[in-house]
Homo-oligomer: A and B are copies of this chain.
Amino acid sequence: MRLLTVLYRSALLALLVAAPLFAQTPARDDAQALRELYSAALPSRAAYDNLAELVTKFPGRLSGSKKLEGAVLWGEAALKQAGADRTELQPAMVPHWERGAKESVQMITEIGPPGIALTAVALGGSVPTASTGLCASVVELHALDDLKSANVKGKIVFFNRAMNPDYVSTGRAYGEAGDARNKGAAEAAKFGAVGMLTRSLTLALDDVPHTGNTKYEDGVPRIPAAALSTLAANQLSIALKANPALQVEMKINSQWFPDAPSHNVIGEIKGAEFPEQVILVGGHLDSWDITPGAHDDGAGVVESIEVLRLLKAIGYQPRHTIRAVLFTSEENSGAGGKEYARVAGVKKESHLLAIETDNGGFQPVGFNLGNPAKDAHTRAARWQDLFAPYGIRVFTEGQGGSDVHPLLETLGYPVAGLSPDSQRYFDYHHTRIDTMDKVNPRELELGAAAMASLVYLVDQHGL
């Protein structure tokens, strides 16, 4: 791209920012406030520097781990540093599962031993195999429903359903393909399977396996479960076509421990007019054990902290209490979000809006919003002309995210979720490559500024 063209185009863009296409004139003060929030955010590296500290000091901060409890103390200090008037560690009991020594999956072939290794990770929550491993033949299936017409008794079920690349939203593809990871082990066990393998939930074709939660059912045998990288899944599929009797050996060394104490980390700026009414922003502090968790959800944590810093930076005195919450144990229980809502119910803490950010620190494009009347997204859309200059153009109906959802479900409070561009999220999600270098400092600050802007508007006008 050459400079002169850019100069010309930029001048036009400047005009556009001043007067968006089809825009109505927004209230002057609101536009000014948003501009100030973005001007405090964009030149800053505060969120990025916080993220570097979080992921470097506390990678693999899974529920029950020392890393998570270190992150809790770090989070409280970061909230104070950002300008919180008051902080609090809210107790919550969380599950405690450990992967143990590195797992392995291999194909047993006539050229072995050893077999041919397939890159894999145990799914979170999986029971271990016998220490000598689990060896069985394999049945490749597409979806859970295929169990009904297959004979899987005594076998390892291999769900090889790829995420649908046809959807523009990668989250939609994740949601649709994800039932195998989530319920595949429990469902396959009902039909007599002894182990479960699943294709990693990503649109990337590479050798990086993606973990994630798997859920067992009471009264159903608990069978070991692991995810193969997409390349390994393709490889196993080819091998099975050549030799349907092929055996695979799984070794998983995981262990379950009693529930452990943990904490939601809360930091707030007291409201001047309605201190008892809360506007919440939050992300989750825990991550899977195998990842630094930069996008999931280190980004959400530091964006939420950054919202407090931005409001302070522009000298804004909120009317309602602005509260950042770093939830514990999102990945494998949701215990933090549920406990937060339970306590809010007991204390009768009114919430004007609870905004979650747990879809990565990418360029934000909008919000999803939900409330009992199902009009929260159309109500927020009245601010679309204020948001358009900052690339926030999409207001959809939704449920916010898994940590704020209980506030809607059990207490009827409005919730929202930040919607970043979704293309790259599942390249890194729940893997060892969800690292700092995948995060752009400006995209992170744009996310924080978008949430701070929504907080400001709700604080001024209500939702």
> Chain copies in the assembly?
2
B5 touching A397, Cβ below 8 Å: no
Which A18-40 residues sit within 8 Å CB-CB of chain B? 21, 38-39
Q: Is A456 in the interface zone, CB < 8 Å from B?
A: no
A5 touching B178, Cβ below 8 Å: no
Q: Which residues of B contact A10 (CB under 8 A)?
A: 169, 171-172, 174-176
A2 touching B166, Cβ below 8 Å: no
Q: Is A13 in the interface zone, CB < 8 Å from B?
A: yes
Q: Which residues of B contact A378 (CB under 8 A)?
A: 21
A43 touching B176, Cβ below 8 Å: no
Complex alpha-carbon distance, A310 and B212, angstroms: 36
Q: Which of B296, B331, B440 contacts A427 (CB 8 A)?
A: B440
Q: Is A358 in the interface zone, CB < 8 Å from B?
A: yes
Binds B, one of A219-227, A255-263, A386-394: A386-394
Q: Is A421 in the interface zone, CB < 8 Å from B?
A: yes
A42 touching B165, Cβ below 8 Å: yes
Q: Is A334 in the interface zone, CB < 8 Å from B?
A: yes
Which A363-397 residues sit within 8 Å CB-CB of chain B? 363, 365, 368, 377-378, 381, 389-391, 393-397
Complex alpha-carbon distance, A1 and B15, angstroms: 38
A401 and chain B: residue at smallest CB distance: B5
Q: Is A254 in the interface zone, CB < 8 Å from B?
A: no
Complex alpha-carbon distance, A179 and B7, angstroms: 9
Complex alpha-carbon distance, A297 and B395, angstroms: 33
Complex alpha-carbon distance, A446 and B167, angstroms: 11
Q: Which residues of B contact A334 (CB under 8 A)?
A: 2
B169 touching A1, Cβ below 8 Å: no
B402 touching A4, Cβ below 8 Å: yes
Complex alpha-carbon distance, A446 and B422, angstroms: 12
Contact with B along A203-244 (1 / 0, CB 8 A): 100000000110000000000000000000000000000000
Q: Which residues of B contact A363 (CB under 8 A)?
A: 363, 421, 423
B175 touching A6, Cβ below 8 Å: yes
Q: Which residues of B contact A395 (CB under 8 A)?
A: 21
Q: Is A61 in the interface zone, CB < 8 Å from B?
A: no
A168 touching B440, Cβ below 8 Å: no
Q: Which residues of B contact A38 (CB under 8 A)?
A: 166, 168
A390 touching B168, Cβ below 8 Å: yes
A3 touching B169, Cβ below 8 Å: no
Known: A6-B175, A330-B2, A363-B421. A168 touches B396 (CB 8 A): no
B399 touching A165, Cβ below 8 Å: no
Complex alpha-carbon distance, A363 and B364, angstroms: 12
Q: Which of B168, B396, B417, B440 contacts A424 (CB 8 A)?
A: B440
Known: A1-B358, A1-B401. A446 touches B417 (CB 8 A): no
Q: Is A245 in the interface zone, CB < 8 Å from B?
A: no
New A-B pairs, 4, CB < 8 Å, besides A7-B178, A11-B175: A10-B171, A391-B421, A393-B394, A423-B440
**A interface, CB within 8 angstroms of B:** 1-17, 21, 38-39, 42-43, 165-172, 174-176, 178-179, 181-182, 203, 212-213, 296-297, 330-331, 334, 358-359, 363, 365, 368, 377-378, 381, 389-391, 393-399, 401-402, 405, 417, 421, 423-424, 427, 429, 440, 442-443, 446
Pick the 4 closest A-B CB pairs, nearest first: A10-B175, A10-B172, A7-B175, A43-B165
